Amino acid sequence: MPMSTHNLIDLAHLEKYVAGDTTLRDEILSLFADRALEMCAALKTPQTDKERKLTLHTLKGGARGIGAWMLGDLCERAERIADAPGREDERNALIRRIDAAVNDVVAFIGRLREAA
């Protein structure tokens, strides 16, 4: 189920960093989108607990940097149990939700850039 558009990226938060510069905004969002897709692909491949935790931590930071709060929160929840034995099903469910959220955010970024 896609997230509602108003929850994908807090544009007011992002505006604090770009001060009306849509070119800068689009560059930041494009870099985030590319990197987020790479990290999601990595999460779907075998990783050590340490690698998984680092990938989730990095994705969380990037998401929060652009104001994608819901995505950041999902990453934080998954990061907390990244190396927890016996919680593989929960972790895998969160990773599926993260993947869906990243796809929603990336699609929103595409629509935002087209509208500019």
* The pLDDT value given to residue 5: 53
Q: What is the pLDDT of residues 3-23, one digit of tens each?
A: 445 579 999 999 999 999 999
> In the chain, which residue ranges form alpha helices assigned H by DSSP?
11-18, 22-43, 49-66, 69-80, 88-115
Q: What is the pLDDT of residues 43-58, one digit of tens each?
A: 999 999 999 999 999 9
CATH number of 5-115: 1.20.120.160
Residues whose CB is less than 8 angstroms from the CB of residue 54 and which lie 6 or more positions away in sequence, other chains included: none
Alpha carbon distance 116, 104 (integer Å) = 19
